[in-house]
Structure 1
């Protein structure tokens, strides 16, 4: 199946919707001799289908025109990788004032394979691609080198081109890997393998295979590599560009930070690397010496070693190199450089300061704390001679702790060219919170991604705020827009033209945030609608009526939205998505009965107390059964709702599983509502909806929910490195476009369903006597149909956009944390400044990280775990699950 077939199916579907909607609108215009303005207004929702048809066919043509093979994708990825890491090296000041002369030597023999075995393995590679260019190196001692020689060591001296880089904390492993990566990109031939750096701290070897994790990282950091592309088809369709590159061995993995994987899982991780990257696949792995050695010689279990790899170990910096670097960074031979004389005299001795300043990390911290910036006076800075005080700093650990403590205040001291919006105290408090968030809430990961900050937001806060917004939008769309449409059409129907805001808001809230959000949205819309009617009609009973509608339809809409969301994201054919057993959810059953029984208030207004009691009992029973069964089904599925992740670009892809489950569960609202009214009609003799009206309403609701769950934004640009800020901006743009386009599509669906029924029956009725005393239905004409299309389209379209994008939850979270004085309100600007101006954070693809994991640990341990009396939000979600039941 070609890739464009999916987009053409979407275009055909929406083309049919738009044609049907336009035909229905024109038919009504001709039948009732409507004015031109009314006809044009009736045709507006159909434009959604036309736009989607054009967009999907256009995407198909662009995709066909821009198609190229996997080698072309690799070439474009190489350009993005080079640009990314050249920029990052500049931000990290790796070449300022000049590259540190980091040197290495061959590691202990136990860390790598014997030299004879390496040469023998390289001689038997099937394709010979990993054979070294030169055979001049005859033993492991030839692996020693300094600085830029690392590329020569990897390409020409290691027979298998599989290298383990070992070193102590802060010894410069990542800095050396960046140099190696840039050199390999420069040496790369067209169509060859692309070196990509993968920080291993975010890999969970107990949950993900190495291939799937690397594909996920590639798709996240390079926009478009997650798209279906060239490669063999698997069970679910074409593989992504990222997987195709991995399968064709066009990714040279540089795996950084093996020691950051939790100790119990390092042997599992190393075994998984050997299985996923067999001999013949070049790779680089970095780790601290002690952690890697413990994996090779575990207290329990079988030792594991990286197959076919040579090993080098970084050496401490030499005293002359340290002295030259500190003086050169201070400006040369002036007074600022002379401030280092007391420290330089102790270098090479056993003094605590001399033993501390032997790694690039400590050297970077020292230069940041004590060296002046351009246009900054050295006299206002602390003196490096303080580090020589044996009373204050009795050992090297005390010196290192002091440098970590002083680093953030020094990074945020007033800059002559780059003024900072945050004081050192504010910045340190925010960085400490972020470090604790990574350490405790996210289970120790190093990846600071803005779309995961939502886990610091209590779910109740998100549901209340989102539900309130959707309720207000539903009220505005159903009541205000309905009133304006009625006035334009020349009708005197007061404020009853649009659909009940509670029903619209409840459905939208359920799609956006489940049952809790549906209840809040329904009640908000119901109260707003009730107050409107109280002020316009002077009838106080309206408030209880619409609030009861909000509870009932909020619960029903929440069930539909929550259940369809879970079913839509469940992977087919996998048993891990289910829990064992089936347990009736009595809490949901009780909640359903309570919310359904509240319909006694609107029934009493329309049918009288006795009939209302019968209807409320019937409705409560049906809602109780639906709630208990739905809760049991939801609990048997995966316990986690779909995670909102950022979307980029504007190519549309149809999820047929989401559409079908949304259609089935959405139709249940209409069927349930009709069944309740039918039972009530049989018991009381009051009128009920016809089967045709039920089918029309069910199809419209089902189409709305199906479209909301079936339409998503997808990445489009290949091999373009996407930073966190660009990803946030793109996600915000996609949010707006999703809202507009899905709203138009849902409006067209409602117009089609209601228009067909209107044309077949010659008229429609609604409300069953909302506010009347004779129980008769109110006639619904073309303006009312248009109002319903607009109200459902705007509100459910907004809910779909909220459920598919991460920007909304991120916005709620940062404002919530800013109110609690834990993070700056403009968090995006703070992270940019911390990365580009202060150097406290580094950027790897689409994520931020602290400059060094030891800095993250130090900040996480500093300060209290509670601020202002509020506990740090934590979730029981370990990064390495202990059993399948605790899988992420």
Structure 2
């Protein structure tokens, strides 16, 4: 107006929490007029003396607000007239109370845009309570948001159907609800868990299921690699036996280690981490304490996994030797050899990982600019750790046995160790198992980013949140686990 431009910074509260202070300091140095919108909790520490306007807090919406948003639609004209008549009609008062929140006003727009008749919202027989009326409006939100006709600007590759999107969003909402076993996890406003953390997705599956999935994938990948190497130096029957034993041994070993690491969170096995490969930074005492805290769980888990691998592989070799009528002393030697190899390998893996804690530090999601940033950082760290373990164990095993076996063994160790990290669990459960079981789409990151762009989710640093706790709870209630549609895009 008048040739002037007002800069609007919307969603200040969606940046990483630890960046609030720096951002406000930079804004104070901004001399031009600026309109900043945010949720109140992000600006609690701001004082009028700090150079920013103390702010205006929005109150409940009024009839004028409803008229501005809904008045252009012919379907709402008669309804707005009844709401403005002050007749004391219970149905009209109930709808007026619902429309006083921005969330429900948006839901009312979505309800009408998706084909709903606003007149039916005033039928007392269908909506005898405010909760029933809110539920009906919330039911229309996802169909409206994911309707390809009403959202023509959405790229075709992201045009998921409303049914599938609702199912996946319901899974995310249910995931958050399952993180709330008691009321203690609610904040001062009575709101439960909000953060959709990529490293925690899939953890509402039972621990035995996660152990089986992680162990099976690790066993198949590593066992197949080992068998391919053995096929170059052994007869096909022996290579096939080697593959079977490695799949079982490696799968059981790392499945057990996954469960062990999940039960003992010391050392931050499944937490995102960052590497600090520099001389200056954390003190030596802090790093030494982190190594000590990681030593027992990592070495213990490695040793337990190595024992399982040695027992399974050594037992299989012993059975094969007995079928060939080998003498009992030789059978015992073969079994003992693999038991020792498995134990030493597991011990070595645990020691390497424990020492690697010297270079690690817990990554704080509230300091990360985005989920993608934290995910990529953790992926790099995991690949470095896995390569270090694979190289150390591969060289050691190759020197003691054969070079070919050392290569295969190092590869198997690297893959197994990779699954025992935040990024590895993300790949196994979220990128593979949950899409296979139809709980989430194959392109999870794209779906989360798209849901944020559509206004279903919001992003706060490295985590996503539902736009409103009421929407989250509604999607969780509507979610039905048996109703799992196949993935695809609407046409």
TM, length-normalised to structure 2: 0.64
Distance 1:395-1:508 versus aligned 2 partners, 3 A rule: closer
Partner of 1:361: 103
Partner of 1:418: 154
Q: Secondary structure at the match of 1:439?
A: helix
Q: Secondary structure at the match of 1:842?
A: strand
Give 1:806 shift.
Answer: 4.0
CA distance in 2, matches of 1:707, 1:717: 24
Partner of 1:827: 444
Partner of 1:644: 270
Give 1:801 shift.
Answer: 1.0
Partner of 1:539: none
Bigger Rg, which one: 1
CA distance in 1, matches of 2:138, 2:365: 40
Q: Does the 8 A contact of 1:735 with 1:801 survive in 2?
A: yes
CA distance in 1, matches of 2:308, 2:204: 34
Partner of 2:30: none
Give 1:702 shift.
Answer: 2.6
Q: Does 1:342 align with 2:78?
A: yes
Partner of 1:434: 172
Give 1:851 shift.
Answer: 1.9
Partner of 1:747: 394
Give 1:800 shift.
Answer: 0.8
Q: Does the 8 A contact of 2:111 with 2:144 survive in 1?
A: yes
From 44, 59, 63, the equivalent of 1:319 is 63
Give 1:686 shift.
Answer: 5.3
After TM superposition, list the pairs within 5 Å mapping 1:548-587 onto structure 2: 561=257, 565=261, 569=265
Partner of 2:199: 451
Residues 337-376 of structure 1: per-residue CA shift (max 9 Å, x gap): 66654344424834333232222332232344447xxxxx
Give 1:834 shift.
Answer: 1.5
Distance 1:730-1:395 versus aligned 2 partners, 3 A rule: same
Partner of 1:738: 385
Q: Does 1:657 align with 2:310?
A: no
Distance 1:370-1:510 versus aligned 2 partners, 3 A rule: same
TM, length-normalised to structure 1: 0.38
Give 1:430 shift.
Answer: 2.8
Query: What runs of 5+ residues in structure 2 fail to find an aligned partner?
Result: 1-16, 27-34, 182-191, 279-286, 486-491
Q: Does 1:480 align with 2:228?
A: yes
Q: Does the 8 A contact of 1:483 with 1:494 survive in 2?
A: yes
Q: Report the aligned-residue RMSD.
A: 5.0
Q: Does 1:846 align with 2:457?
A: no
Q: Does the 8 A contact of 1:447 with 1:847 survive in 2?
A: yes
Distance 1:731-1:694 versus aligned 2 partners, 3 A rule: closer
From 402, 413, 417, the equivalent of 1:796 is 413
Q: Does 1:404 align with 2:138?
A: yes
Partner of 2:41: 177
CA distance in 2, matches of 1:187, 1:81: 9
Q: Does the 8 A contact of 2:227 with 2:243 survive in 1?
A: yes
Residues 729-762 of structure 1: per-residue CA shift (max 9 Å, x gap): 444444433332321122233356x3xxxxxxxx
Q: Secondary structure at the match of 1:453?
A: coil
CA distance in 2, matches of 1:644, 1:175: 31
From 495, 498, 509, the equivalent of 2:251 is 509
Residues 214-246 of structure 1: per-residue CA shift (max 9 Å, x gap): xxxxxxxxxxxxxxxxxxxxxxxxxxxxxxxxx
Distance 1:182-1:787 versus aligned 2 partners, 3 A rule: same
Structure with higher RCO (Cα < 8 A, 6+ apart): 2
From 404, 409, 417, the equivalent of 1:787 is 404
Q: Does the 8 A contact of 1:471 with 1:502 survive in 2?
A: no
Query: What runs of 5+ residues in structure 1 fail to find an aligned partner?
Result: 1-73, 84-94, 100-173, 190-312, 372-379, 487-492, 515-560, 572-641, 755-783, 870-888
After TM superposition, list the pairs within 5 Å mapping 1:57-456 onto structure 2: 78-79=21-22, 175-178=39-42, 180-181=43-44, 187=50, 316-320=60-64, 322-323=65-66, 326-327=67-68, 329=69, 336=72, 340-345=76-81, 346-347=83-84, 349=86, 350=88, 351-352=92-93, 353-370=95-112, 382=116, 384=118, 387-388=121-122, 393=127, 396-414=130-148, 415-419=151-155, 420-440=158-178, 443=181, 445-456=193-204
Give 1:853 shift.
Answer: 1.7
Distance 1:788-1:841 versus aligned 2 partners, 3 A rule: same
CA distance in 2, matches of 1:821, 1:426: 9
Q: Does the 8 A contact of 1:736 with 1:801 survive in 2?
A: yes
Distance 1:449-1:794 versus aligned 2 partners, 3 A rule: same
Residues 771-815 of structure 1: per-residue CA shift (max 9 Å, x gap): xxxxxxxxxxxxx53223222211012111111234445543565
Give 1:701 shift.
Answer: 4.9
